[in-house]
């Protein structure tokens, strides 16, 4: 079995970097969105209260669920081309 060429390795590295950038951006957008939705601006406590904790948990779960659905739809659309 032949080892991958330099061009193949560079392409794989670029794809991995692009995937990492996408994941970091996705995480940052989710964090920002859920923070805006769930956090009280008065910062009364150093810890999340029960309502904030529950809101963040639901917000993140919904965000990942929607991201998965959109990914499936885009994948199905790409296969149909």
The model's pLDDT over 32-43, given as tens digits with 9 standing for 90+, comes to 999 999 988 777
Tallying the residues shown for the chain, one arrives at 81
pTM of this prediction? Answer: 0.73
| Beta carbons of 20 and 12 less than 8 angstroms apart | no
Give the tens place of pLDDT for each residue, 51-72: 999 999 999 999 999 999 999 9
């Amino acid at each position: 079995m032949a080892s991958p060429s330099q061009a193949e390795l560079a392409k794989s590295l670029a794809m991995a970097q692009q995937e990492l950038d996408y994941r970091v951006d996705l995480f940052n957008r989710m964090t920002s969105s859920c923070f805006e939705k769930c956090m009280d601006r008065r910062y009364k406590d150093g810890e999340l209260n029960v309502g904030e904790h529950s809101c963040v948990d639901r917000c993140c779960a919904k965000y990942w669920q929607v991201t998965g659905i959109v990914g499936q739809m885009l994948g199905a659309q790409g296969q149909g081309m």
